[in-house]
Amino acid sequence: MSGSADRVLVVGAGPVGLVAATCLAEAGIPVTVIEASDDLPKDLRASTFHPPTLDMLDRFGVSGRLVERGLVCPKWQFRDRKEGLVAEFDLGILKGETNHPYRLQCEQWKLTEHLRDMLMRDGGVEILYGSRGLSVSQTDDDVTLTISTPDGGTRELRARYLIACDGAHSNIRKSLNIEFEGLTIPEIFLSMSTHFDFAKAIPDLAPIAYVTDPSEWAVLLRTPSLWRVLLPTDPSLSDEQVKDPAVMESRLQALCPNPDRYDIVHSTAYRVHQRVAKSYVAGRVFLAGDAAHLNNPLGGMGMNGGVHDAVNLTEKLAQVWNGAPLDIMGRYERQRRKAAIDTVQAQSLRNRQIMAETDPAARKAYHDDLRAIVADPVRHKDYLMRSSMLGSLKELESVA
Ligand SMILES: Cc1cc2nc3c(=O)[nH]c(=O)nc-3n(C[C@H](O)[C@H](O)[C@H](O)COP(=O)(O)OP(=O)(O)OC[C@H]3O[C@@H](n4cnc5c(N)ncnc54)[C@H](O)[C@@H]3O)c2cc1C
């Protein structure tokens, strides 16, 4: 057994784990973060911050720093591969509802890097790298986490509470036998990043575009340094076949002809799941972020929802730490599971449905509806409240 038990353990130093650690440190609660990697992962994953997430992160002075290192994007689009622009949404309409009426395109590792720097500067939080949470047990008074250590051994850590932010394959969720209900999306998602400037080639293109097509939908996303293209891919192909340079080149050329070869600086192909854990609270252990819910990336809501979990969870946990009954954590589960199911799952599945629809009449109906929404200021605002996740946060206030 190691370290003082008078602390909270956070398993996983991704965006959700570090936001949770920052909130707890702000409340004066000692925290130990356990991270499996030797350093913070820097892979290219989430790139979109929605308005309420930036509003929440403002409290730590982080949003301004992300804005300095990101791209402010008030507008985003639905397009069609053949017809071009279908509907352009303008988040400027949300002024008055948020201090950040835009989507910020900024890599998620910039958030974790800022948070880690702040935590190391301010103290109160230790991070154990190269240490993997293996399993958890608990009594009425505390939790015990078994971890693997960088020297190949194992060790036990004790704490009052534990927050599992250990991502999609969460060992903690598995160790608690919590069901991860849902489905796996049939197609593989191929993400390719390139310096090619799509905005020059497609003059009316916004930095975020969801492109409908009956045989191959696409997403075009600008990040501060690159453009990212997401394409659905046949799951029966091997990783080598999917990422064959000639195949990726011809798929990009078909999407947007380029007189030169595309310089693909990064590519990744991954399976996508839509799942929500059956419970988020198990005694003194709480699930948050990808450990609790997974969704397709169409709408950019996974990390954002996870950050919202972390803020909600730690507000309540700080009250429990200071004497409130443990059962107030049940409201965390009721609120955040509802957000995951009613907003994140529903919205991301609907986006995929709109983008992949094959029936011509249904496609036309979707396009007509999107055009009608942006033409009507009330519907336009209502759509943006939902897609930016501001609406779901308001609704949760009434969840008992
Ligand atoms: C290509 C792609 C694009 C995406 N785009 C967006 C987007 O634009 N917007 C958005 O909101 N979301 C997006 N997402 C989803 C987003 O990346 C995730 O929802 C987000 O990373 C979840 O954060 P997390 O902290 O819960 O988990 P993770 O980011 O997975 O972090 C988990 C951390 O825990 C560590 N870990 C894992 N297991 C253990 C263990 N047993 N013990 C200790 N440490 C452990 C890992 O090393 C990692 O550091 C995207 C995902 C992908 C793959």
Helix, strand, or coil here: 389? coil
pLDDT at position 325 over 50: yes
Q: Do domains 8-181+274-396 and 187-271 have the same CATH topology?
A: no
Closest protein CA for atom 52 of ligand 1: 45
**Which atom belonging to ligand 1 lies closest to the Cα atom of 288?**
26
Atom of ligand 1 nearest to the CA of 306: 26
Question: Of 45, 113, 189, which is best to mutate to test ligand 1, by the most ligand atoms within 8 angstroms of its C-beta?
Answer: 45
Count Cβ atoms below 10 Å from residue 58 Cβ, excluding itself.
13
Residue 2 has pLDDT above 80, yes or no: no
d(CA 306, CA 202) in angstroms, rounded, equals 33
- pLDDT at 212 > cutoff 80: yes
Model pLDDT for residues 280-301, shown as the tens digit of each residue: 999 999 999 999 999 998 888 9
The whole-number pLDDT of residue 8 equals 98
Yes or no: say if 271 and 188 are a contact pair by the CB < 8 Å rule. Answer: yes
Cα 155 to averaged position of ligand 1 atoms, centre (Å): 25
CA 106 to ligand 1 centroid distance, Å: 15
- The pLDDT-based confidence of 124 (bands split at 50, 70, 90) is confident
Question: Longest Cα pair distance anywhere in the chain, in angstroms?
Answer: 66
Radius of gyration of the chain (CA): 21
DSSP class per residue in 78-137: EEETTTEEEEEEEGGGGBTTBS--SEEE--HHHHHHHHHHHHHHH-SEEEETT-EEEEEE
Whether ligand 1 lies within 6 angstroms of the CB of 57 is answered as no
- CA 112 to centroid of ligand 1, rounded, Å: 11
Cβ-Cβ contacts under 8 Å for 144 (sequence gap 6 or more)? 1, 136, 137, 138, 156, 157, 158
Q: Residue ranges per domain, the chain? A: 8-181+274-396, 187-271
- Whether residue 1 is predicted with pLDDT greater than 60 in this model: the reply is no
pLDDT digit string, tens, across residues 140-189: 999 999 999 999 999 999 999 999 999 999 999 999 999 999 999 989 99
* Tokens found for residue 281: 């609270």
What was the pLDDT predicted at 98? 97
261: nearest Cα among 277, 243, 249 = 249
CATH code for 8-181+274-396? 3.50.50.60
Number of Cβ within 10 Å of residue 201's Cβ equals 12
Q: Which two tokens stand for residue 258?
A: 């380029």
- Please identify which residue in the block is written with the tokens 């593989």: 188
Q: CATH number of 187-271: 3.30.950.10, 3.30.9.10, 3.90.25.10, 3.40.710.10?
A: 3.30.9.10
Closest CA to 50 of 137, 127, 118, 108: 108
Question: Does pLDDT of 263 surpass 90?
Answer: yes
Q: Is the CB of 298 under 6 A from ligand 1?
A: no
Q: What is the rounded distance in angstroms from the CA atom of residue 167 to the CA atom of residue 323?
A: 30
Whole-model pTM: value is 0.96
Q: Is the CB of 17 under 6 A from ligand 1?
A: yes
Long-range CB pairs of 168-173, under 8 A, 24+ apart, other chains included: 168/273, 168/290, 168/291, 168/294, 170/287, 170/290, 170/291, 171/11, 171/132, 171/133, 171/134, 171/135, 172/11, 172/133, 172/135, 172/136, 172/285, 172/287, 172/291, 173/277, 173/287, 173/291, 173/292
- The whole-number pLDDT of residue 3 equals 58
Three-class secondary structure of residue 4 per DSSP: coil
Across the chain, mean pLDDT equals 95
Token output for 323: 């004497």
- What average pLDDT does this structure show over 376-393? 96
* 108 CA to centre of ligand 1 in angstroms: 9
In the block, residue with structure tokens 């060790």: 155
Q: How far apart (Å, rounded) are the C-alpha atoms in residues 237 and 313?
A: 41
Nearest atom (ligand 1) to Cα of 44: 1
The closest of 113, 37, 388, 352 to 380, measured between CA atoms, is 388
Residue 124 — left, alpha, or beta (φ > 0 → left; ψ -120 to 50 → alpha)? left
289 lines ligand 1 (CB under 6 A): yes
Q: Which of 108, 113, 336 to mutate to test the pocket of ligand 1 (most atoms within 8 A of CB)?
A: 108
